[in-house]
Structure 1
Amino acid sequence: MPHTVLLTGATGFVGSHVAEALVRRGDTVRTLARAGSDTAFLEPLGVTVVRGDLTDAGTVKRAADGCDVVVNCAAKVGDWGHADGYRAVNVEGLRNLFDAVLGRPLHRFVHVSSLGVYAARHHYATDETEPLPNDHIDGYTQSKVEAERLALQYHRKQQVPVTILRPGFVYGPRDRTVLPRLADRLKERSVMYIARGRYALNTTYVGNIADAVLLAIDAPAATCVGEVFNITDGEFVSKRRFFETVADGMGLKRPRGFPPVPVWLARLMANWREGVFRRQNKPHPPRITQAQLKFAGLNLDFSIAKARTKLGYAPRVLFDEGMKRTLEWYKSPGSAPTKAG
């Protein structure tokens, strides 16, 4: 049965793919987009655009009117800046979304979180029973932990039918941020392996996330409401394999074979540089941060057994095919970093 869906973040990377998937199967999609946001990709899909911001409670309430499903893909992302800047969107904006649907008939509220909520340490098949830390390494991950707790609070106290998805490192067509930056680093020859690049990266193809969102909407309430699910490609991809696949696909030299930096030394360097930059009130992060160390130097292996069992999630696109599609888009005319969507 088709739904009327309020989708936040539809002008962004993940949200644009979710919008496509929803429209493709016949749902009516409405999105909230800030003034000046590029909606050219969404208009041919027939997505209704309500201009406004998650931080404006009145606009959020108007956008939610008549919707029976909410999918929250909107987020302020980054690895630098005070936590309050991230909370304004990722926590208080989410609160506005919940308040907008209280007392209305709602089929499902899908909140897209992140595997970044887990502690910044090595992970080996970590599942959803792992408790989350109270204090995190940066403002973004701190706010995402707080957002999840808020979502589960609205489920427990207000009976909002919430399902939380935690994707890992997201890649795919229309990535206008991470892949272009990585390409620049590869061109500069500044990518270095930590621990020889042997640790796992929690790769998640963007189309697989869109599939998981549809499953979370459609699954019986008894199996998914009030639940949290890890979402990845379900495949071991080492940091070295990732970097070399990108370099080869772009016709760039692979990262040089410097003596591998041990994790403990990289952590000391990141802590020192972050401290210096904070004391100097730098508006931008140093070249190495705790978040970058986690991406490049920690084993990020998470179990998706719960999603497979309860949601029926089965990743359709694995890394080689997903990266092939990603690089084809990236190298196409008019793509990153300005292509809409």
Structure 2
Amino acid sequence: MKVLVTGAGSLLMREVAVALATRGEEVVCMQRRTAHFPAGVRIHQELGDISSLDAVTKAMTGCDVVVHGAARVGVLGTWNEFYNTNVVGTQNILSAARSLGVARIAHVSTPSVAHVGHSLVGAVATPAVTGHKRAFYAESKAVAEIEALNANNHSCAVVAIRPHLVWGPGDTQLVGRIVQRAEANRLAMVGSGDALIDSTYISNAVSALVAAVDAVQVGASCAGKAYVIANGEPRTVRELMQKICDAAGVPFRPKKVPLSVALAVGSLVERIWPRIGKGEPPLTRFVAEQLGTAHWFDPRPAAQDLRWSPTVTLDEGFRELHRWFLEQPKPPTQ
């Protein structure tokens, strides 16, 4: 089986490509810059921009299945930047698949496409909704998922996979940001820190996407549906942040910020950051809502339709993360 994996510059998609290649699949990766894979893993790389239909078509030629994970993430950027990568990129995947006769697509989405600011407790993957005025990322991914699932038909099967808060060794998003802010004594905890959230250890997210590759077939029970992927072990925001800090060996001294204050500060930051800031803003309304409200999900649909369940517990993942930090080069002492 020949598989196109887009977005292999990210930790998750790189590991998906490695997992597929390791089990013997012919893997083609498409991303903007050369990705680095373990020695001995045979993966062909096609460098190109997902917003170019010609580049996507070239990379997809001869493939049997697509795992589309290329995306613009984060909170920094204009609507056009998010739209061109996340929406136009998905449209190009669908268009190229139609023209080439590719009949199986696993679309990587996010639970935030259905998160509108209130708590999600034991939730299933409700349909994506547009109107996420507080986050271009969530809005663009919602539009993209809707288009992807609408493309599911009798000749092409599409499944949407929503991994939730993926973390693990090498993660620069959740882990990297928490550790950096803790080291700088700028770690904020929105609300009491008691909101229950689920997360996904990296190897579990990888195995879920591999399971989706195997499951997505025309007429399969998963075709045309979305699935939230998580460890199924809700923890409080406080515990998740503290465990990550403990694994990294950095002090856990968060500054508590009431949710109402965090939302107000986030709104202010959104207005002034484009003029005065560099890099990711310290807080936005979307981030405040994510940290201040519960969101955990029902794992049964993925178990039933994808025949997938997590194999690494959170505590095992934290131990692996700690071992990884111990192996990292230490900065020279002054």
TM-score by shorter chain over 0.5: yes
> In 2 relative to 1, CA 117–129 (structure 1 residues): closer, same or farther, beyond 3 Å?
closer
Are the counterparts in 2 of residues 106 and 161 from structure 1 also a CA contact under 8 Å? no
- Alignment partner of 1:95 is 2:125: no
- Alignment partner of 1:69 is 2:65: yes
In structure 2, distance between residues paired with 1:179 and 1:129: 27
The within-5 A match list for 1:6-85 is 6-34=4-32, 37-41=33-37, 44-85=40-81
- Alignment partner of 1:132 is 2:107: no
- Structure 1 residue runs of 4 or more that deviate by more than 6 Å after TM superposition: none
* SS of match in other structure, 1:245: helix
Give the number of equivalent residue pairs.
328
- Alignment partner of 1:236 is 2:231: no
Are the counterparts in 2 of residues 81 and 283 from structure 1 also a CA contact under 8 Å? no
TM-score, length of structure 1 as denominator length: 0.89
In structure 2, distance between residues paired with 1:60 and 1:192: 40
2:117 to 117, 120, 123: 120
What letter is aligned with 1:266? A
Give the match for residue 315 of structure 1: 310
- Alignment partner of 1:292 is 2:290: no
Deviation at 1:43, TM superposition (A): 6.3
Deviation at 1:227, TM superposition (A): 1.0
Are the counterparts in 1 of residues 247 and 321 from structure 2 also a CA contact under 8 Å? no
Are the counterparts in 2 of residues 199 and 238 from structure 1 also a CA contact under 8 Å? yes
In structure 1, distance between residues paired with 2:5 and 2:39: 14
> In 2 relative to 1, CA 23–213 (structure 1 residues): closer, same or farther, beyond 3 Å?
same
What is the RMSD of the two structures over their aligned residues, measured on CA atoms?
2.2
What letter is aligned with 1:294? E
What letter is aligned with 2:253? P
In structure 2, distance between residues paired with 1:4 and 1:129: 31
What letter is aligned with 1:8? T
1:226 to 224, 227, 239: 224
Q: Which has the higher contact order (CA 8 A, sep 6+)?
A: 1
Cα deviations by residue, 1:89-112 (Å, 9 ceiling, x for unpaired):
111011111111114443420001
Deviation at 1:305, TM superposition (A): 1.9
Cα deviations by residue, 1:297-338 (Å, 9 ceiling, x for unpaired):
2211122221122212211111111122233224423699xx
* SS of match in other structure, 2:161: strand
Deviation at 1:116, TM superposition (A): 1.3
In structure 2, distance between residues paired with 1:298 and 1:45: 41
> In 2 relative to 1, CA 129–33 (structure 1 residues): closer, same or farther, beyond 3 Å?
closer
* SS of match in other structure, 1:230: strand
Identity over the aligned pairs, expressed in percent?
Answer: 27
> In 2 relative to 1, CA 43–143 (structure 1 residues): closer, same or farther, beyond 3 Å?
farther
Tell me, which stretches of 5 or more residues in structure 2 are unaligned?
none
1:111 to 100, 107, 110: 107
In structure 1, distance between residues paired with 2:49 and 2:128: 32
Deviation at 1:124, TM superposition (A): 1.0
In structure 2, distance between residues paired with 1:153 and 1:281: 40
Are the counterparts in 2 of residues 243 and 255 from structure 1 also a CA contact under 8 Å? no
* SS of match in other structure, 2:152: helix
TM-score, length of structure 2 as denominator length: 0.90
Deviation at 1:296, TM superposition (A): 2.2
* SS of match in other structure, 1:197: coil
In structure 1, distance between residues paired with 2:195 and 2:209: 28
In structure 2, distance between residues paired with 1:334 and 1:117: 38
Larger deviation, residues 244-253 vs 22-31: 244-253
Deviation at 1:293, TM superposition (A): 1.0
Larger deviation, residues 294-303 vs 165-174: 294-303
Deviation at 1:186, TM superposition (A): 0.5
Tell me, which stretches of 5 or more residues in structure 1 are unaligned?
337-341
